């Protein structure tokens, strides 16, 4: 099984490139600007990935890179800045990259160079927490919190931990407030289009058009007519095809947050939701 996956990963770039050559009737893929899609875990990265794959149908890109570039590897090791920059600089020309990168000076400096396009997607912290708990508990047995979450009596207890974070017995997970410090760092960057997960679900066409506008701000003209391009991107969005799909909806937190969870969230996160624009005040 593992060997088969490795073979597929090895052959995939050549196969995808061949498809792109046939689709676009060209061998060179240098015209369209470099694109990178970025996110925090459980904040809509796979929705963004589906849109980026749609981009390859409307602009001459070879394919979207199979593996994300991460600041922190799955086993918890934080990569050195040199490692991340090496991965970024070695993305092949004409290939769309994506990942889970922090807004370090080095990462931001590289990604926001003139002529590049960057998308950063984020999500209502309450929905993100619910998604993270379900994912770690039921969908990903190798998640660092899987065993601990399953040792707790119910979803409510797990959500408490997701809100406060934990640092004991070899387990370390930051609080919801600390998680979003990295989001604000990207929100403050120039030349990064920050997208709300909710807007891609509830205000889809306007948001997709804005994403296409972001590409053309570089001076590049998308060859596919806008109406056709929009239709292709809409068709590309199929949440149920994502292996992390659970509900694909917004506002689901209301079904899981008790009054006690709301109070705990406010105690831990303060005015986080107001700062992000999800609430006008803390009376929610």
pLDDT higher for 108 or 238? 108
**What's the pLDDT band for 109 if we cut at 50, 70, 90?**
very high
Residues 104-123: what's their mean pLDDT?
A: 96
Check if the beta carbon of residue 274 is closer than 8 Å to that of residue 281.
yes
What value does the mean pLDDT of the chain take? 91
Q: At what angle do helices 204-216 and 226-236 cross, to 10 degrees?
A: 120
Q: How far apart are CA 186 and CA 195, in angstroms?
A: 11
**What's the pLDDT band for 261 if we cut at 50, 70, 90?**
very high
Rounded to two decimals, the pTM is 0.90
Range of lowest pLDDT (19-23, 155-159, 240-244, 270-274) = 240-244
Q: Which residues contact 63 (CB under 8 A, 6 or more apart)?
A: 12, 13, 16, 17, 19, 20, 56, 95, 96
Residues 239-254: what's their mean pLDDT?
A: 67
Q: How far apart are CA 252 and CA 41, in angstroms?
A: 17
List domains and CATH numbers for the chain.
33-124+180-240 (3.40.50.300), 126-178+246-276 (no CATH)
Residues 156-165: tens digit of each pLDDT: 999 999 999 9
Range of lowest pLDDT (5-19, 20-34, 198-212) = 5-19
pLDDT at 245: 47
Q: How far apart are CA 274 and CA 125, in angstroms?
A: 11
**What's the pLDDT band for 240 if we cut at 50, 70, 90?**
low
pLDDT at 146: 82
pLDDT at 102: 95
Statement: residue 243 has pLDDT above 60: no
The two three-digit tokens of residue 153, written as one number: 């009596």
């Amino acid at each position: 099984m593992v060997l088969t996956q490795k073979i597929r990963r090895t052959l995939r770039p050549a196969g995808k490139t061949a498809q792109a050559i046939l689709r676009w009737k060209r061998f060179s893929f240098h015209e369209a600007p470099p694109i990178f899609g970025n996110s925090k875990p459980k904040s809509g990265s796979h929705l963004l990935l589906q849109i980026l794959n749609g981009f390859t149908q409307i602009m001459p890109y070879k394919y979207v890179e199979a593996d994300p570039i991460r600041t922190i590897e799955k086993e918890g090791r934080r990569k050195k800045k040199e490692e991340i920059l090496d991965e970024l600089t070695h993305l092949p020309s004409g290939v769309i990259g994506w990942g889970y990168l922090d807004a370090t000076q080095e990462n931001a400096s590289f990604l926001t160079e003139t002529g590049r396009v960057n998308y950063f997607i984020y999500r209502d912290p309450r929905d993100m927490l619910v998604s993270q708990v379900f994912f770690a508990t039921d969908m990903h047995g190798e998640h660092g919190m899987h065993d601990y979450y399953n040792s707790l009596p119910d979803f409510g207890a797990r959500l408490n931990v997701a809100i406060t974070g934990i640092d004991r017995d070899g387990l370390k997970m930051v609080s919801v407030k600390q998680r979003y410090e990295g989001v604000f760092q990207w929100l403050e960057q120039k030349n990064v289009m920050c997208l709300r997960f909710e807007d891609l679900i509830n205000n889809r066409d306007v948001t997709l058009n804005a994403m296409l506008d972001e590409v053309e701000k570089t001076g590049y003209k998308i060859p596919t007519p806008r109406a056709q391009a929009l239709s292709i991107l809409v068709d590309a969005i199929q949440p149920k095809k994502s292996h992390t799909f659970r509900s694909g909806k917004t506002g689901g937190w209301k079904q899981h947050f008790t009054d006690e969870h709301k109070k705990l969230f406010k105690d831990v996160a303060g005015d986080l939701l107001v700062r992000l624009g999800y609430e006008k005040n803390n009376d929610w």
